[in-house]
């Protein structure tokens, strides 16, 4: 799903249209907010959301919650990512193991991971542990599958070069395999980050007393809609930004 580049002759009209769409959506929103057609609190006025966004950004407590969620996602990504990378390398390097186990990863990968939350709570408790486990479980599958697929796409000449230099398994991994499959691995990490974020945040919305997910569900519980919109805006901007940043690291072959 790679959107094509905008042709040069269309750049100016496209920019104008984008600005027009954004302004149009904001105008409709503001119109709905002041019209009274919908509940005022469900669709708050834009200045109210902007004020909530400002208040959120100057409250140190907010950034502490972001820090908590960031730690959970980071730890999950390290655990799930390294396990996924190792599993992908093994499955990609060995044809028999790949054929025996990759189908399980392929079909288990897209199952809804949130249903494992009860199990993770029982295994790791209601605190940090279960959120990290949810993030790790979520990101393991895309990273393992991308790595295994990347291993199989490595140019055979590179592998023969490594073998002719008598590289050991560690040197083959660090000097040949990983550099040669940067794009698929980075793509896997990008996908993994997205699902790790969802895993950790959904777990926080379900059972937690800290983190961004907790803040969102807390704003819902006390019906503070401007704060909830502000949280969601910040979260979406950060998630889409992180996704684009990782895609850039992978070079031109990484799907955006």
Rule CB under 8 A: which residues touch other proteins?
1-4, 6-7, 10, 13-14, 17-18, 21, 42, 96-97, 99-101, 103-104, 107-108, 110-112, 114-119, 121-123, 194, 197-198, 201-202, 205-206, 213, 216-217, 219-220, 223, 225, 228-229, 232, 235-236, 239-240, 243-244, 256
In angstroms, what is the minimal distance from the CB of 131 to other proteins?
14
Nearer to other proteins, 148 or 202 (CB): 202
Please give the C-alpha separations between residue 63 and each of 42, 56, 112, 163, 215, in angstroms, as whole numbers.
Answer: 25, 9, 29, 50, 11
Side-chain-side CA neighbours of 168 within 13 Å: the count stands at: 1
CB 233 within 8 A of CB 29: no
DSSP-derived secondary structure letter, 6:
P
> In this complex, which beta carbon is closest to other proteins, that of residue 67 or of residue 123?
123
- Cβ-based nearer residue to other proteins, 180 or 201: 201
Q: Closest CB to other proteins among 14 and 26?
A: 14
Contacts 24+ apart (CB under 8 A), 107-111: 108/141, 109/141, 109/142, 109/145
CB of 180 to other proteins, least distance (A): 25
Cα 230 to chain centroid distance, Å, stands at 19
- Cα 199 from Cα 255, distance rounded (Å): 22
Q: How far is the CB of 157 from other proteins (least distance, A)?
A: 25
**CB of 102 vs other proteins, minimal distance in Å:** 9
| CB nearer other proteins, residue 162 or residue 211 | 211
Would you call 5 helix, strand, or coil by DSSP?
coil
């Amino acid at each position: 799903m790679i959107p094509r580049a905008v042709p040069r002759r269309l750049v100016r009209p496209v920019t104008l249209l984008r600005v027009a769409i954004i302004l149009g959506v904001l105008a409709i929103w503001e119109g709905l907010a002041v019209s009274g057609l919908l509940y005022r609190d469900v669709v708050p006025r834009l200045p109210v959301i902007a004020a909530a966004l400002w208040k959120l950004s100057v409250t140190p407590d907010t950034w502490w919650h972001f820090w908590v969620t960031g730690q959970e996602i980071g730890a999950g990504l390290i655990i799930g990512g390294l396990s996924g990378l190792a599993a992908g390398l093994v499955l990609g390097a060995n044809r028999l193991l790949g054929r025996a186990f990759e189908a399980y990863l392929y079909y288990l990968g897209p199952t809804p991971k949130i249903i494992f939350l009860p199990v993770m709570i029982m295994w790791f408790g209601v605190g940090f542990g279960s959120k990290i486990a949810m993030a790790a479980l979520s990101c393991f599958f895309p990273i393992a599958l991308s790595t295994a697929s990347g291993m199989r796409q490595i140019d055979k000449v590179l592998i023969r070069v490594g073998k002719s230099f008598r590289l050991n398994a560690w040197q083959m991994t660090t000097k040949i395999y990983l550099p040669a499959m940067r794009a698929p691995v980075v793509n896997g990490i990008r996908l993994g980050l997205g699902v790790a974020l969802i895993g950790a945040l959904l777990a926080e919305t379900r059972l937690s007393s800290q983190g961004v997910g907790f803040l969102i569900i807390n704003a819902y519980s006390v019906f503070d809609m401007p704060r909830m919109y502000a949280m969601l805006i910040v979260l979406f901007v950060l998630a889409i930004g992180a996704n684009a940043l990782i895609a850039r690291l992978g070079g031109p072959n990484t799907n955006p």
